[in-house]
Structure 1
Amino acid sequence: MVDSGRLINDNALRREKKQLYLCGTYPNQYYSNSPCPSQQVCPNGGRYLNIGCSSAAQCTPYYSGKSTCINRCCCTVVESTTDTAHFGVCPSAQLSEVVCNKKSMCQSKETCMTGLCCTMTGNEWNLACGGLAALGSCNTAGQCPSGQFCSSSNYCCECPVGRSAGRCQNGVCPSGFSCASNGFCCASCPGNVMPYGACRNGTCGGRKRCSAGNICC
Structure 2
Amino acid sequence: MGQKCNVDSDCLLAYDPKLGTQIQVKCFGNQCCGEDFSGISRQKSDQLQNNIQAICNDGTPSNQQCFLPNDCGDAQKTCVNNICCPKNNDYDQYACGGLQSIGHCDTKGQCSVGECVSAQVCCECPFGQPQKQTYNCKEGSCEKGYFCSRSGFCCPQCQNGKIPSGSCHLGQCGAGSTCQLGNICCEGIL
**TM-score when scaled to structure 1?**
0.56
Match of 1:98 in 2: 64
Letter in 2 for 1:130: G
Match of 2:123 in 1: 157
Q: Does 1:180 align with 2:149?
A: yes
Distance 1:101 1:189, change over 3 A: farther
Match of 1:135 in 2: 102
Match of 1:201 in 2: 170
Kindly state the Cα deviation for residue 210 of structure 1 after the two structures are TM-superposed: 0.6
**TM-score when scaled to structure 2?**
0.63
Q: 1:211 aligns with which of 170, 180, 184?
A: 180
Q: Distance in 2 between matches of 1:99 and 1:174?
A: 27
Structure 2, unpaired ranges of 5+: 1-51
Looking at CA atoms only, which structure, 1 or 2, has the larger radius of gyration? Answer: 1
Q: Distance in 2 between matches of 1:157 and 1:109?
A: 23
Q: Note if contact 2:145-2:156 (Cα within 8 Å) is conserved in structure 1.
A: yes
Match of 2:85 in 1: 118
Q: Note if contact 1:114-1:194 (Cα within 8 Å) is conserved in structure 2.
A: no
Structure with higher strand content: 2
Q: Distance in 1 between matches of 2:106 and 2:138?
A: 31
Match of 1:109 in 2: 76
Residue-by-residue CA offset, 1:119-170 (whole Å, 9 max, x unaligned): 112110000100000001112221111x410011111001111111132655
Structure 1, unpaired ranges of 5+: 1-85
Residue-by-residue CA offset, 1:40-81 (whole Å, 9 max, x unaligned): xxxxxxxxxxxxxxxxxxxxxxxxxxxxxxxxxxxxxxxxxx
Q: Distance in 2 between matches of 1:177 and 1:189?
A: 9
Q: Distance in 2 between matches of 1:168 and 1:174?
A: 14
Kindly state the Cα deviation for residue 179 of structure 1 after the two structures are TM-superposed: 1.1
Kindly state the Cα deviation for residue 88 of structure 1 after the two structures are TM-superposed: 1.1
Q: Note if contact 1:101-1:115 (Cα within 8 Å) is conserved in structure 2.
A: yes
User: Which has the bigger relative contact order, CA under 8 A and spacing at least 6?
Assistant: 2
Letter in 2 for 1:97: N
Kindly state the Cα deviation for residue 109 of structure 1 after the two structures are TM-superposed: 2.5
Q: What is the DSSP-based 3-state SS (H/G/I as helix, E as strand, rest coil) of the residue aligned with 1:181?
A: coil
Q: Could you tell me the percent identity over the aligned residues?
A: 36
Letter in 1 for 2:163: M
Q: Distance in 2 between matches of 1:98 and 1:117?
A: 6
Q: Distance in 2 between matches of 1:169 and 1:98?
A: 32
How well do the aligned residues superpose, as a CA RMSD in angstroms?
1.7
